[in-house]
Amino acid sequence: MSQIRGPGPARIAWGYRTAAELEAWTIQLDRGTPDDPQPFRRTLVAAVVGRPDLHALKQRPLTFTVLREGRPPLAWRIVPGTLQIGLEAITAELEAKEAPAYVAIRSAGK
């Protein structure tokens, strides 16, 4: 298992709305089984700063975004149904490829 660690600022967003501010985040990369459609699993573990927006964290799609000074942000979509909110930390499974740093919110029924 390998890890990507980041002490810098990050967030979970629903569209343009920040659902949770994060710090001290880690992405754990685990190799799946040969039959698994995803050869690697990416699991996010992060400390929450302040109070998360629980309503926004229940919405879809959610995006984990790493803010980098002087460079474009990195972002991954959170796999629906994998987000777990603890008292001090959030864990979630991330999709395999990078996503846009923001996802537009569509109105219901459209």
How many other C-beta atoms lie within 10 A of the C-beta of residue 10?
24
Percent of the chain with pLDDT over 90: 44
- At which residue do the structure tokens 């459609």 appear? 37
> Which domains, ranges and CATH numbers included, belong to the chain?
2-98 (2.40.10)
pLDDT score of 105 more than 60: no
pLDDT digits (tens, 9 = 90+) for 35-81: 766 667 889 999 999 899 999 999 999 999 998 888 888 889 999 89
Instruction: Over range 1-22, report the average pLDDT.
Output: 89
